[in-house]
Amino acid sequence: MAKVSINLATGSIQKEDIIVGIDLGTTNSLVAFINPDKDPLVINDAGKGVLVPSVVHFGPTGEVLVGNEAKEFLITDPQNTVFSVKRLLGRSYHDIENYKDFFSYKVIDDDTESLVKIKVGDKFYTPIELSALILKELKARAEHALKTPVNRAVITVPAYFNDSQRQATRDAGKLAGLDVLRIVNEPTAASLAYGIGLNPDETKTIAVYDLGGGTFDVSILQIQNGIFEVLATNGDTFLGGDDFDRIIVDYWIEKNQLNKADVIANNELAQQLRLKAEEAKKSFSHQSLFNEKIGDIWCTLDRADFEQLILPKVQQTITCCQNALKDAKLTTADIDEVIMVGGSTRTALVKKMVSEFFARPVHDDVNPDEVVALGAAIQADILAGNRKDILLLDVTPLSLGIETMGGLMDVIIPRNSKVPTKGGRQYTTSIDGQVNMKIAVYQGERDLIKENRKLAEFNLKGIPSMPAGFPKVDINFLLNADGILTIQAIELRSGVKQEVEVKPTYGITDEQVEQMLMDSITHAKDDISQRMIIEARTEGEQTIYTVENFLRKHGSHITAEETEKTNEHLVVLKEAIASGDKDQILKRIDEINEFTRPFAERLMDEAIATAMRGKSIE
């Protein structure tokens, strides 16, 4: 038995390189990877810190700064400093017009339906380009810290991101020189970081509560067979830790009897107060009183007062949790695990209220602003095939089949079959004495193989010479739990056998699968009519082959006139095939069959008569 191995990649052998996980956040972004000990780790390049503020600054001569250095310019050079670009990714001006005042930089509204652009100086940037600058910085940091090129990544997005936002994220990755292997939902990544969902046998319903800098969302996920399904999401895209900071600033303005308008007018003071407020907020993670001064302004606050101040905001997030559960048609009793994500969940009151609402302890031991990136790194490791114990799919997303006559797809394992699974069918040759059979394996939902994705092709060689239709070639597909497809072809009369192994999911993204499914729906009608034409044509060609064969072998048994008439029939059938008119082809096939049927009968009679005379037929 010959064993052919096919490399499905672009032909070259895939060098084992690192795949990173990236959390591209509204406030902060970061990158993580899996170290050789299999632990997910965040990257802290040259002690610059793990979190890279998602801020881009453009200097007067075009130099670009990303991260902490750029963040400083939010105060001194707001027009040329872009923050929160994630809010604009994949959005049209129409989507954001209600909150355009939120941005201190210029968001362009040339056409309300097309995607927004941002003007900095005299240049226009798309949110994709700006996000790419952040991703490039993360890529550079990872490469510097790991001392190896980083070209492939998994990037996370909020569960509520639509297709356009996901595509924009993917494009940003591409622009940053990254091959984005997968876009993963942030709650899914967070769950993986806690090891929830890694066991394909467990079924769980979880809530992921994510309170970041400027946004809040809660997702209810169902995990089954290693597949994460978003049952509901809820949230508020303008509610986050920044609100806590603003509330503290307002409180200090009041306590110091300052005029709020004066403070706002004094940009520097306003920003100083904001930073001090954030410092105070964070300090409550380890102390209960904050007491500092800016000039002669007292910045004093204790934790109890802080909690009192932010209570209404936290209450708002709990209402979102309630709504999410309602949408998912569940109650808190149905939730098996609650996961805390986002820097703002370090706030004790937040943890307390979430835990009380769900009536169970929450998962908070993984750093909440790192948990998404860590989970993305785990997902990357799974995609790299380094975790053999984990199933990536439990159903095959696309049908698997082979090419048959006329370039048609013959499905052997239909889509959505549970793996492991097998399927098979018997084929035969179409030409007399055919000793090789090409077996081309495809994946996809279209009727024509040229619209599907080719996985492999091989030749079953050494079929003994037999008339067309005699060999029996069994083709069996076996799809194992890892998604590896083994294709086996055996000619039953001779025992000639060949086997090929391929990985159908290799190099194919969820989006591509989706696209292929979408295409099969949009083109279903065309496909059916095309399939019918091809089938008619194939049948026509088979008929021509058989009839010509008959004339060659048994021409002497029919009259010259019959031969001439038969040839005329062949000509019109060939014309019909060339015209591609299905009905014409079928009509001509019927005619020629009708005309030649008596020949075969006569031949049979003659053969019998000959045999009765005691002579053998040739």
Q: Say if CB 362 and CB 318 are below 8 A apart.
A: no
Of 93 and 228, the one with the shorter C-beta distance to Mg ion is 228
Closer residue to Mg ion in complex, CB, 56/573: 56
Tokens of 57: 């600054």
Q: Is residue 212 involved in binding ligand ADP (CB under 6 A)? A: yes
Q: Establish how many alpha carbons lie within 13 A of residue 320's alpha carbon, considering only the half-sphere containing its beta carbon.
A: 26
* Of the candidate residues 344, 429, 505, 538, the single one contacting ligand ADP (CB under 6 A): 344
Give the tokens for residue 483.
């998604």
How far are the Cα atoms of 157, 173, 376, 510 from residue 182, in angstroms, in the given order? 10, 11, 9, 7
What six digits make up the tokens of 371? Answer: 């948990």
Q: List, by residue number, the catalytic residues.
A: 23, 86, 186, 210
Q: Residue 43 and residue 459: Cα distance in Å, rounded?
A: 49
Residues within window 548-577 making contact with ligand ADP, judged by CB under 6 A: none
Measure Cα distances from 203 to 206, 224, 259, 348, 487 in Å.
10, 5, 56, 30, 32
Residue 347 binding partner per list Mg ion, ligand ADP, none, with a CB distance cut-off of 5 to 8 Å that depends on partner kind:
ligand ADP
Show the tokens assigned to 141.
């940091």
131 binds ligand ADP (CB under 6 A): no
**CB atoms closer than 10 angstroms to residue 217:** 25
Q: In what side-by-side order are the strands of the sheet with 64-66?
A: 64-66, 55-58, 81-83
d(CA 30, CA 45): 11
Does 346 help bind ligand ADP (rule: CB under 6 A)? Answer: yes
Q: Does residue 87 interact with ligand ADP by CB under 6 A?
A: no
Minimum CB separation of residue 503 from ligand ADP in Å reads 34
* Bridge partners, residue 487, by sequence: 477, 500
289: its two tokens: 């009183």
Q: Does 342 bind ligand ADP (CB under 6 A)?
A: yes
Q: Which of ligand ADP, Mg ion, none binds 213 (CB below 5-8 Å, type-dependent)?
A: ligand ADP
Per partner kind, with CB cut-offs from 5 to 8 A, the member of ligand ADP, Mg ion, none near residue 396 is none
What does 282 bind: ligand ADP, Mg ion, none (CB cut-off 5 to 8 Å by kind)? ligand ADP
Cis status, amide bond into 36, omega within 30 of 0: no
In whole angstroms, give the CA distance from residue 55 to residue 65. 8
215 binds, among ligand ADP, Mg ion, none (CB under 5 to 8 A by kind): ligand ADP
User: How far is Cα 37 from Cα 182, in angstroms, rounded to an integer?
Assistant: 23
Contact flag: residue 274 with ligand ADP (CB under 6 A): no
Scanning 31-39, 121-129, 197-205, 207-215 for contacts with ligand ADP by CB under 6 A, the matching segment is 207-215
Among 182, 281, 363, 415, binds ligand ADP (CB under 6 A): 281
Q: Residues 404-443: x/- map of binding to ligand ADP (CB under 6 A)?
A: ----------------------------------------
**Residue 15, number of CB atoms within 10 A of its CB:** 6
Binding region for ligand ADP (CB under 6 A) out of 6-14, 23-31, 114-122, 351-359: 23-31
Rounded distance between C-alpha atoms, residue 16 and residue 468, angstroms = 47
Per CB under 6 A, 347 contacts ligand ADP? yes
One residue of 20, 22, 25, 596 binding Mg ion per CB under 5 A: 25
Under DSSP, the state recorded for 467 is: -
Examine residue 26 and tell whether it contacts ligand ADP (CB under 6 A): yes
Using an 8 Å Cβ cutoff, are 136 and 176 in contact?
Answer: yes
540 binds ligand ADP (CB under 6 A): no
Nearest to 31 by CA among 52, 57, 53: 52
Interstrand relation of 204-211 and 337-341 (parallel, antiparallel or unpaired)? parallel
| Residue 28 engages ligand ADP in binding (rule: CB under 6 A) | yes
Pairing of strands 289-294, 40-42: unpaired
Among 129, 242, 447, 451, binds ligand ADP (CB under 6 A): 242
What minimum distance in Å lies between the beta carbon of 187 and ligand ADP? 12
Residue number with CB closer to ligand ADP (86 or 415): 86
Nearest distance from C-beta of residue 52 to Mg ion, angstroms = 13
Chosen residue from 79, 266, 285, 465 binding ligand ADP by CB under 6 A: 285
By CB under 5 A, name the one of 53, 212, 375, 540 that touches Mg ion: 212
Binding site for Mg ion (CB under 5 A): 25, 212
Binding site for ligand ADP (CB under 6 A): 25-28, 212-215, 240-242, 278, 281-282, 285, 342-344, 346-347, 369
